[in-house]
Amino acid sequence: MTKKIFVTRPIVPDAIDKLKSFFQVEVWNETTPPPKSVLIEKSVECDAFMIEANDPIDSDVINAAKNLKIVSTRAVGYDNIDLSYATSKGILIGNTPGILHESCADFAMGLILTLGRRISYSHYNVLKGNWKVFDQTPYLGNDIHGKTLGLLGVGMIGSAVAKRASGFNMKIIYHSRSRKIDLENQLGLIWKSSLDDMLQEADYVSVHVPLNDDTKKIIGKRELDLMKSDSFLINTSRGGTIDQLALTNALKTHQISGAALDVTDPEPIAHDDPLVSMENVIITPHISSASAATLRNMGIMAADNIINFFTEGKMLACLNPELLS
């Protein structure tokens, strides 16, 4: 019998067409995520899901499953999925590592430049009609070259940011559980075994850790208090890694100079959230991976995870590979 696949967004037509050449495919044709009740209903009916990073695959959805064998997320992060529960119920979880890191790193570097040199702030002033005279002084920014970048996490994305930052002549320090001797040798990175030391030294702190129990609010009031008053915080990982209220206060009191957030908690951030209207804050709508090519390639990989599993019993990337053997 043909397998039934539920795809929770219509955004990668090539991936959907590819799935359709193997399976019966139903697509949620909205830009907003399907409600939980729909996920539960589809969990009863379907053999596989292809989902986005904000579709919750929790115990309610998993408990409803009858034939659901695989959930393939078009994302590298999987904090929206109860992985251990899915594993206990024999449901495979696929994701898309190895595709988006270069695009994310381009974007993170762009945020560092935009924040430090006040690019979007000055553009906004030109849009408002405020360029009336040659006067650079309202827009004086901070340099990038010669400054210290502190990377929290140097997985594929963090290390791709390090490569770019070294081209900008930044000093790069990093904090991660394990040392990356290769990166240290290649790019001159300096390991800080203590997060506190890294925060005290960096001019730009960029967060590149996945969201999990260890990293939830890893940057809170105490950590923000350690940062320099002329430093900046950049987050392209998950909103939940930062205590947003503490960040709001730190920005209000000039404990730090500014922040660039591609991710917030919740998403979307409320339009009347104080962070949205702060001049020293840049917020983008969770798009760091979203070049057209990378979005498509992630979609194809997510589809291939499902196709390869049902045709060959294999997956390109599986988060619970013990279920495959």
Would you tell me which residues interact with ligand GLV (CB under 6 A)? 53, 75-77, 100, 289
Residue given tokens 């702190």 in the structure block: 205
| Cβ 127 to ligand GLV shortest distance, Å | 29
| Cβ 76 to ligand GLV shortest distance, Å | 4
Q: Which of 41, 102, 267, 296 is catalytic?
A: 267
CB within 8 Å of 55: residues ≥ 6 apart: 8, 33, 34, 39, 49, 73, 80
Give the Cβ contact number of residue 81 at 10 Å.
Answer: 24
CA distance linking residue 112 with residue 187, whole number of Å: 19
Longest dimension (CA), the chain: 71
Q: Which helix (H) or strand (E) holds 88?
A: helix 83-88
CA distance linking residue 99 with residue 184, whole number of Å: 23
Q: Which of 74, 286, 296, 322 is catalytic?
A: 286
Closer residue to ligand GLV in complex, CB, 77/240: 77
| Cβ 53 to ligand GLV shortest distance, Å | 5
CA 77 to chain CA centroid, Å, is: 7
Closer residue to ligand GLV in complex, CB, 53/275: 53
Residue given tokens 């290390």 in the structure block: 159
Residue of 129, 138, 137, 163 lying closest to 149 (CA atoms)? 163
Closer residue to ligand GLV in complex, CB, 100/154: 100
| Cβ 77 to ligand GLV shortest distance, Å | 3
| Cβ 322 to ligand GLV shortest distance, Å | 22
Name the percent of the chain in helix, strand, coil, to the closest 5. 40, 15, 45
| Cβ 253 to ligand GLV shortest distance, Å | 30
9 is catalytic: no
Buried b (16+ CB within 10 A) or exposed e, 172-201: bbbbbeeebeebbeebebebbeebeebbeb
286 is catalytic: yes
238 is catalytic: yes
Per DSSP, what are the bridge partners of residue 233?
A: 205, 259
Give catalytic residues, as residue numbers. 238, 267, 286
